[in-house]
Amino acid sequence: MDRNRGPVGPVSLFPESDYRFGAGPLRMRVERIDWNRPVRYDDDNWYEVDGVEVTADGREIGRRQALVRARSLSSLRRNVRP
């Protein structure tokens, strides 16, 4: 728990092939997924994701938006607000 922000959620790891646009894996504490507006790209559905990017040791880098492949979000579908 972060005293200033409340409970801290788990960190999701997205391989470079499952998010746009960046290099290397993306570690992110996902706060919002726009389930209502999928983007068709690379013959798959992708969704805009908002959250906080973190380093491998858990330090916050800052706010981040990314376009993430739908199959990488399946475990988050019920737990993240739209």
pLDDT in tens, 64-77: 999 999 999 987 76
Residue with tokens 């391989």: 15
Instruction: State both tokens at 37.
Output: 């507006």
pLDDT at 1: 45
Nearest of 15, 8, 57, 7 to residue 29 by alpha carbon: 8
pLDDT in tens, 18-35: 999 889 999 999 999 999
**Where is pLDDT greater, at 77 or 12?**
12
pTM: 0.80
Residue with tokens 């507006």: 37
Instruction: State both tokens at 32.
Output: 């919002």
What is the spatial distance between Cα 74 and Cα 76, in angstroms, rounded to a whole number?
5
